[in-house]
Amino acid sequence: MKYREILYAVSDKVALITLNRPAKLNAWTRRMAEEIQDAMMTAGDDDSVNVIVLTGAGRGFCAGADMKLLTDIQGGEEAAEQRAPDDIPKPRPQNVRPDYQHKYSYFPAIPKPIICAINGPVAGIGFVLTLFCDMRIAAADAKFTSAFVKRGLIVEYGGAWLLPRITGVANAMDILLSGRVFDGEEAQRLGVVSQVLPSDGFLDSALDIAREMANHNSPRSMRVVKNQVWESLFEDLDSSLNLAFEEMGSSIKSEDFKEGVAHFMEKRAPHFSGK
């Protein structure tokens, strides 16, 4: 797929996906949604990629849906968001739970960590998109808003399911019902993001975190741990324990476990195979 509204680059085992409509604060479009999905699938299938970073070009992450898309919907024109499910590309692999086969909910099915580097303003669908990422890092001066109640809309694409699980019910209600704007520092206090970094050199700092993970952690372990955490949202404790017992047995037999012990004992950098 030829990308027109995103950028895609791979370096040092990290795939960088950049929303690239900076003149419009990377406002969300049908084309952008399709390009992001293609890029995520490409990175997921690429053996040279261990970690994925999603960010925005220019001074913003994503200002929400492009206003033309909203006016088209208001005018009764069919939008990509309202296409029949069969018209929406399905994530690979196909053997994932149905929850991961909807628009934007496919992120958990990508078998690699996805870090969202929130470099600036984020609203609406852009905000929901960040919630599907495995880790969220924000610039100190980034601005957040759900914005839906300001447009006469409701929370879309699973945001009302995800946010309470990330921040707790009280904070989620505050964010979603008020539609207020808050910065990166408050986003960390609310639990929306796990880290806040200085705005100067923000992307380089976020990429340093990704590179550390990509080059020093077992790709196999990260893949399994990501799956454990996402699956736990649908499981009881007994099921989670059984999965952990099963996966630990497989881990002990893996090449990455042997390498994990060897590089520690030999005091050298790891050379994980991901197997």
In angstroms, how far is the first alpha carbon of the chain from the final one?
A: 29
DSSP 61: S
pLDDT at 118 over 70: yes
The pLDDT-based confidence of 6 (bands split at 50, 70, 90) is very high
β partners of residue 144: 122, 182
The label of the residue with tokens 């913003």 reads: 60
Instruction: For residues 119-140, give the mean pLDDT.
Output: 95
pLDDT, position 73: 52
Write the CB contacts of 17 (distance below 8 Å, at least 6 apart in sequence): 6, 7, 8, 36, 39, 40, 43, 52, 53, 54, 55
The pLDDT-based confidence of 94 (bands split at 50, 70, 90) is low
The label of the residue with tokens 């909910």 reads: 105
Task: Work out the number of other CB atoms within 10 angstroms of the CB of residue 243.
Answer: 16
Instruction: For residues 36-55, give the mean pLDDT.
Output: 96
Helix, strand, coil % over all residues of the chain, rounded to 5: 50, 15, 35
Q: CA 248, CA 256: separation in Å to the nearest integer?
A: 12
Q: Which amino acid is present at 218?
A: S
pLDDT at 104 over 60: yes
Instruction: For residues 183-204, give the mean pLDDT.
Output: 95
Q: CA 159, CA 54: separation in Å to the nearest integer?
A: 18
pLDDT, position 79: 46
